[in-house]
Structure 1
């Protein structure tokens, strides 16, 4: 049954290819007749064409190529190549065709019409002639085929075999031509170099959007989950010894989880290309002062120096808050005991954010602490570098003696400049 189905599929495919060639022959014949009529009117006498044959051929080819400029022709040819020829390669119908598209479409239309006329001519001339000649050989008399008959019986037998072979070959000539066109279609109707560059650019833009969403998830929800994890561990450790402090930690968990839910709603709205519920934009990051206060409230010995101009661009301020939240979370998760120093200042028309935190077990396992910091914060550091790249800045991070230092350096953007 499978073999029968395969054979039927093959026959249907070849039938569709033959129909596609016949359609090209019909259009080609109309083009040729139109050219003959026009040339006859312009150059003929008494209805007789007196112009040279090459002129008829040249004008017919030109008119066939011009058909490729007609709107919708490329779409029809691409559809026909896919559905009737069975071409599998990539083919495009550009919204704004370029000269290269018109040239390729014209070439394909010429091939369609020429090969359709060739197949039709072979089927209409060689097949009947071969059949008539075979009958002449059998009856041993001339019936008007125009091919001379051999005198001997052996010659007639050989000529009969050749007539049968020629007839079968002519009858099936469209088979390899259709297969050739199916392979050729993606090369002629496929994307040009400019199309491939545009496709690559669109893919890069989609990838950049996915990267931005991943960064927002990491910097927003990832930060919130880290805080929840730290506060939950603290609450469990002191729940019997200091119930009031445990209650404060649980309240912080509740507040952080509520904020993370808003962040998640904003990101999901961004994925759906709609506005977040109840807001016109994604939830903005916490203010720098509030961010520092919350980390101090969670028990971090945080010593901060923040000196930013009042007219700092809003977008740059939001990115700085995201970066500071990431660095403080890393310091709380992976740092050792001791003070965390934050410096966020303007220096020579540049913004510098530097966070220094002690390494865990600096006396004996500083290297291990640094490696854990680097591996756990790999995605965070990559996100910081991506944010720095947006403003033409740089990020440096790594262990320096018994401390971990991360430094973000950006060109200063003021509100008027950002607009």
Structure 2
């Protein structure tokens, strides 16, 4: 009994009833247009004086409603109303206007059903309650039977008069059942008629993929720039502290490198945060051509012994390769700072066979750094792998003959 009461008069039923009343209100202009057609066709001058002609006008207006539902804003507006009033999960409904013929057809079917059911329920909501109230109060106001209400003669019988309140209540319950049933049907049909099509799902998936790609790129930029800066500054400050009294010149160089590193990193961080605020996917980033020398100088100031072999002119590289190669070298040196402090590091950047080869090597010394298998897993190596893969290259890292070796190969030909 309680479940039936909630179905007929619960909050969801009331909201769906409002949804149907709105459909009836939307149907009124189409009924008026339909009456313009029905009147001359039937020779009637008072269409609304006949219930039959009203139904004909209503039926004539529905095809016009289906035609106007092709307006692009129809589906977004209907979806918004359904989400608010019908209790349908928003994920099961489409966003934006209908794009394909199939989606437009389903939108037209939904709009016609909404106005059709809404017109019937709205008409019943206007006509039934007053008559039901009269039936309920009739036994208490016997004089009403002799008024111009033109009540049925059957109510002159005592038994009919006694049952009239029951009939009035039954009519109200029947109205509530019609409204609740119609609302439930529309809520069940809404996902099928207003749900996303295959094309809608593809568009949404492409938008999510593009957003995820931008987020991943921002994450890589933040990790590579800020992560490298923090590692370098930590080691530079540690080195400066140790030799502050014995080698003031080296301490000054380390402090100068810290200042330069932090200033540059703040600038890069501002650029990335600007992307997050403004939604621009263009991230200003350093390149191998313009920034490799500064990167090596700052890293050496942290106490890392780097032997570099640059077998390519960075200015000749495509911009995207130069940018990604810089981040890969930066992350490779960052790993060396973390895990091979005090050990000699070899950096080779060479071009061969339309590829750019980047190699970073440092000796494996158990007394100076953890064994590679025990190194904590972070985001650096996966980030380098992603950068290489997006350009069609490869990245490999691991122990090779007593050294820790990072080797990345990037194609230098193709779209830049």
TM-score by length of 2: 0.76
What residue is the counterpart of 2:52 in the other structure? none
Instruction: Give how far 1:185 is off.
Output: 7.5
Residue 292 of structure 2 is aligned with which of 288, 297, 312? Answer: 288
Shift of 1:396: 0.6
Would you say the 8 A contact 2:321–2:410 is kept in 1? Answer: no
Partner residue, 1:4: none
| Deviation for aligned residue 1:165 | 4.4
The CA RMSD over aligned residues, in Å, is: 4.3
Q: Which residue of the partner structure matches residue 228 of structure 2? A: 223
Task: Compute the TM-score of the two structures, normalised by the length of structure 1.
Answer: 0.75
Aligned twin of 1:395: 395
Match of 1:241 in 2: 246
Q: 2:273 aligns with which of 255, 268, 272?
A: 268
1:131–1:163 contact (8 Å) kept in structure 2:
no
| 1:223 CA drift (Å) | 1.0
Cα 1:389–1:15 change in 2 (3 A) is: same
Match of 1:307 in 2: 311
Alignment of 1:116-135 (within 5 A): 116-123=118-125
Residue 25 of structure 1: aligned partner: 24
Secondary structure, aligned partner of 1:194: helix
Offset of 1:193 from its aligned partner? 3.7
Query: CA distance change for structure 1 residues 118 and 317 in 2, over 3 Å: closer, same or farther?
Result: same
Q: Which residue of 2 aligns with 1:331?
A: 336
Aligned length: 393
Q: Give 1:302 deviation, angstroms.
A: 2.8
Which string of whole-angstrom CA distances, capped at 9 and with x for unpartnered residues, describes residues 7-66 of structure 1? 9xx89987765555344335445534544542564x6568899xxxx9988754422322
Corresponding residue of 1:66: 67
Question: Do the aligned partners of residues 98 and 144 (structure 1) sit closer, same or farther apart at CA in structure 2, a change above 3 Å counting?
Answer: same
Question: Please, which runs of 5 or more residues in structure 2 have no aligned partner?
Answer: 1-5, 48-54
Secondary structure of the residue that 2:278 maps to in structure 1?
A: coil
Local SS of the residue matching 1:354: strand
Report the secondary structure of 1:287's partner residue.
helix
TM-fit CA distance, 1:347: 2.3
Cα deviation for residue 273 of structure 1 reads 2.9
Q: Which runs of 5+ in 1 are unaligned?
A: 1-6
CA 1:289 to 1:174, structure 2 compared with 1: closer, same or farther past 3 Å? same
Contact kept in structure 2, 1:232 and 1:250, CA below 8 Å: yes
1:107 aligns with 2:109: yes
Q: 1:327: Cα distance to partner? A: 0.8
SS of residue matched to 1:360: coil
Aligned to 1:170: 174
In the TM superposition, what is the alpha-carbon distance from 1:230 to its structure 2 partner? Answer: 0.9
8 Å contact 1:133–1:147 — kept in the other structure? no
Verify the 8 A CA contact 2:76 2:97 in the aligned structure 1.
no
The 1-side partners of 2:18 and 2:299 are apart by: 75
Equivalent residues in 2 for 1:152-191, closer than 5 Å: 156=160, 160=164, 163-173=167-177, 175-177=179-181, 179-180=183-184, 183-184=187-188, 187=191, 188-191=193-196
Range that drifts further, 177-186 or 166-175: 177-186
* Displacement after TM superposition at 1:384 (Å): 0.5
Q: For residue 202 of structure 1, report the CA deviation from its aligned partner.
A: 2.0
Is 195-204 or 396-405 further displaced after alignment?
A: 195-204
The residue that corresponds to 1:205 in the other structure is 210
